[in-house]
Structure 1
Amino acid sequence: MTAVSEKMWVSDIVKEVPKSADIFRRNRIDYCCGGRMPLGEAVEARGLDLESVMEEINSIDQHEGGGLDVRYLDEAGIITFIQNRYHQELLNELSALTPYVTKLARKHGPGEPHLVRLQELYRTLKNEMIAHTEDEDRHVFPLIIEFMKDPASGLVETVKPHVDGLEADHEAVGDILKEMRDITDDFTPHEAACGTYQLVYARLEKIEKDTFDHVHLENNVLFERVKSAM
């Protein structure tokens, strides 16, 4: 691709250069629900140096590591990728991490109240994502595939509220993750943190990364295609 410019949308940059998501996440620039804004505006809102951010993005080696470019998949292929890469892995991790989050809040929460709040947020995130992915897998994704096969089939009024609802869900999950990052000092454990403390923070940060990438793929690739066909 050509070099990024300050007028390019953040979401479009991530579609062109997926590894730029790491830069945006590190600098707390929303490339998912809030990614439809020019890079210059997003950087200014965070009080960052535009030239430095653009230079870092433009220096990414786009050939390094290869990987799947979902832009060349049809809608059914994108959905299959989302389900295989994100849905099942997320559900497995949310289940596996639960006892560690519980243990951390029980053991250290009395002296560090933010860990009790972290457990509350985690429970909400877990419940929201279980319901969200089930709704997508059972209802919305099959409907999208049917609609995209024949956009003139009369399904527009059925599909649109489902897509709008999923995007609203994404906004709510994004708010949960942002609060998690805020109260954990960017998922940075203190120097005396025990092994469970470090494990929970590291795995929550991985969940955040995967969820942002997951939401970006749905909002800015899959749903964008659906809306263009309406």
Structure 2
Amino acid sequence: MNTLESKTVADLVTENIQTAHVFKKYGIDFCCGGGISVKRAAEKAAIRYEDLEKDLLGVENTTGRTNNYNSWKLDFLTDHIINVHHAYVQENIPLIYQYALRVVRVHGSNYPELVQIQRLFSEISRELRAHLKKEEEILFPFIKKMVKAKKEGTDFSPPDFGTVDNRIKMMETEHEEAGGILRQISALSNKYIPPQEACNTFRAFYAKLEEFEQDLHQHVHLENNILFPKALNLEKKLSVV
């Protein structure tokens, strides 16, 4: 088995974020479902491994800023997630919901799937807002507290909520639930492809939903595959000091 074939999808995206675009092209989940090998991912997606391998090997191994998430300090990474991805979610939920209201009102009778999409988006909006609040008010501040304790060599006190592992498992479960809702929306919208006769608002609605999904994939990848494993490792190191 060659090196690429044995690596996990999450490993590759962590090493080079540009590979995420390749996995997206083939419909391969690189965030919540990224723990499987590239070979297995190809099998699950019912595509030729050779085609996937060729595209992955063709990704330019740039050293730009977007490829360096894995080297960032955890406190810096948490700030990035909040300022970029949390902010994106908060800013775009109202816009997408307004699109949904208008499109359902005008086209819902001819395209009943729009009503289901609107319901699912309302559900994921509620869940994500609560999820972001828990990260910003509980988990991320404690990760920063651990980073500070390690840097300054100060005493480390376990969190009131038990362990970081408990909180992270909860966040990962919520990530999977959000991903499941988005998969339903993608299926209902024919992978965000509007009908040929769709108006501009209809098209904008689907385009924004797809953008929302892409941002969430990147968001979850940064947490599940980089931030959380490193936070768990840091907790273990501090606990034995």
TM-score range normalised by the length of the shorter chain: over 0.9
Tell me if 1:72 matches 2:71.
Answer: yes
Show the 5 A alignment for 1:1-230. 5-63=4-62, 67=66, 69-150=68-149, 153-155=156-158, 157-229=162-234, 230=236
Count of aligned pairs: 228
Any runs of at least 4 consecutive aligned residues in structure 1 with deviations exceeding 3 A, and if so which? 64-68, 148-152
Identity of aligned residues (%): 28
Deviation of 1:4 after TM superposition, in Å, equals 6.0
What is the one-letter code of the residue matched to 1:197? F
**1:185 and 1:228, CA in 2 relative to 1: closer, same or farther beyond 3 A?**
same
Runs of 5+ in structure 1 lacking a partner?
none
Aligned partners of 1:4 and 1:13 also within 8 Å:
no
Give the C-alpha shift of residue 90 in structure 1: 1.6
Per-residue deviation, 1:195 = 0.7
RMSD: 1.8
Q: In the TM superposition, what whole-angstrom CA distance separates every residue of 1:102-124 from its partner, at most 9, and x where no partner exists?
A: 11112111121110000001101
1:81 is displaced (CA, Å) by 0.8
In the alignment, the residues of structure 2 paired with residue 225 and residue 207 of structure 1 have an alpha-carbon distance, to the nearest angstrom, of 26
Q: So what's the TM-score if we normalise by structure 2?
A: 0.89
Query: In structure 2, what residue type is equivalent to 1:118?
Result: I
State the one-letter code of the partner of 2:219: H
Task: Tell me if structure 2 keeps the 8 A contact 1:187–1:201.
Answer: yes
Pair member with larger Rg: 2
Paired with 1:32 and 1:71, the residues of 2 have a C-alpha distance of: 15
SS in 2 for 1:67: helix
> In the alignment, is the contact (CA less than 8 A) between 2:192 and 2:207 conserved in 1?
yes
Contact 2:194-2:203 at 8 Å conserved across structures: yes
